[in-house]
Amino acid sequence: MNSNLKSFFKDNKINYILHKHPAVFTVEESSKIIKGIPGLRTKSLFLKDEDSRFYLITLPGQKRLNIKFLKFYFKIKELNFASPEELKNKLNTTPGSVSPLAILNSQSVQFILDQEVWNADIVQCHPDINTETLEIASQDFKKFYNILPGKKSVIEIPAEEQNG
């Protein structure tokens, strides 16, 4: 975990438990490699719309993002994954290491948090490096969210329906 994030947590009295592990790049990989950490495993996706507005979306790790719902909800015509270069430029992180904590690196990116993550007793997320996972209790995760400046939303994102 980088020193800026450590300082942010210390300054704001946000408690966490740090778990180190081999590098993981996907939720599927993390499910196989990372065992025994309590809480809801999350994933964070970095998207941009047709007007080059950026969105960091955090949802439960096993939930498929319903992009059609987000486009309707936010009245967006196009919503696509941002490039690795845009991710580095806007959130100072890389693919595989994206987490809700990356929002601390930008006030221009809109943060969207799924209601299920908000309601979780314990949240798991990377501290912007994919060789570590933080275990954060609900009250501390909510404290983090409430401190954040900029545009943010907690919404219930329905899972994308899978074609059978």
**Each residue's pLDDT tens digit, 93-104:** 998 899 999 999
Specify the number of domains making up the chain.
1
* Domain around 151: 3-155
CA 54 – CA 67 distance, rounded (Å): 14
Radius of gyration of the chain (CA): 15
> What are the Cα distances from residue 2, in Å, to 10, 64, 86, 136, 137?
13, 29, 21, 17, 20
* pLDDT given for residue 42 in this prediction: 95
Q: Identify the residue with better confidence: 81 or 128.
A: 81
For 88-131, list the strands marked E by DSSP: 110-114, 122-125
* SS3 at position 44: strand
Assign 77 a pLDDT band (cuts: 50, 70, 90). Answer: very high
Residue 162, domain member (yes or no):
no
Q: What is the CATH number of the domain that holds 133?
A: 3.90.960.10
Q: Which residue has the tokens 């007007």?
A: 51
Has residue 163 been placed in a domain?
no
Whether residue 131 is contained in a domain is answered as yes
Residue 160 lies in a domain: no
The vertex-62 CA angle with 59 and 67, nearest 5°, equals 55
Show the tokens assigned to 163: 């074609």
Given this model, what pLDDT does residue 30 score? 80
Helix, strand, coil fractions of the chain, as percent rounded to 5: 30, 25, 40
Q: How confident is the model at residue 24 (pLDDT cuts 50, 70, 90)?
A: confident
